Amino acid sequence: MKAIFLYDITGFMAAPWLEAGYECWVFDGQHTEGVNREGNLVKVGMWFYPDQIQEHAAEISTMVGPEVVFVFGFPECTHLTVAGAKHFAKKAAVNPQFQIEAMNLAKLIPAVSKACQCDAWALENPVGVMSTLWRKPDFMFNPCDFGGYLPMDDMHPVYPDIYPGRDAYNKGTCIWHGEGFQEPVRRHIPPLHRANPGWARCGGKSLRTKNIRSATPRGFAQAVFEANAPHLRDLV
């Protein structure tokens, strides 16, 4: 069985699926161009364009093939989050369609799900205008809500100087999902940081800063896997 992860540079969301033996296809323009296979991990360096969503979805479906059981995506939030609202007027003066285009890129996730005939899909974004441009999120969470899925001695494997172990911090995150997606069970731990350390400790607009701020909470990734992996759901 296969799982697809879109706009994903860290691979954190795919990690538990990969460990369980699923074939994981991870798409992001920052990966090396083309299809790069490392066992069951397939990294695809591919950029997406807002006026080609259906074409992209069809291409991905053909590339990955049958038996897709899960699709998750992390679309760019820069043009959608309320944190950037002070820049919206300036952006609109340059491109009046900037938010519509960003919303189209987010809609690639359900489009890929449909093309792959898989109704277990979800996407994440911060609080923002997606609620008005599309629909309200299905649920919201903070990373610390799922920190209990990580061991007591956990340290962040990539950004230990930014994020505390066990995802013990707040970062309001919204999830939109399809009918086949199951909301994971929360295992809350007290946050060490009331504010998102990705914002507090990372200034500027560099690609590295964006990658840090958008890093997937690993406890959430594990929780989603346990709630949605077919081989585990069949045991419930």
| pLDDT at position 230 | 92
Strand order in the sheet with 23-38: 41-45, 23-38, 2-6, 68-73, 121-126, 173-177, 139-141
* Residue 44 in this model has a pLDDT that exceeds 60: yes
pLDDT tens per residue, range 132-178:
888 899 999 999 999 999 999 999 998 888 889 999 999 889 999 99
Q: For position 164, which CATH number holds?
A: 3.40.50
* Residue 24 in this model has a pLDDT that exceeds 60: yes
SS3 114: helix
Residue 134: count other Cβ atoms within 10 Å of its Cβ.
14
Number of structural domains (the chain) is 1
- DSSP 8-state secondary structure symbol assigned to residue 87: G
HSE-up of residue 107 (Cα within 13 Å, Cβ side): 18
Tokens for 106, please give them.
Answer: 């987010």
Whether 193 and 164 have beta carbons less than 8 Å apart is answered as: yes
The whole-chain average pLDDT of the chain stands at: 88
Does the model's pTM come out above 0.95? no
Q: Domain residues for 227?
A: 2-233
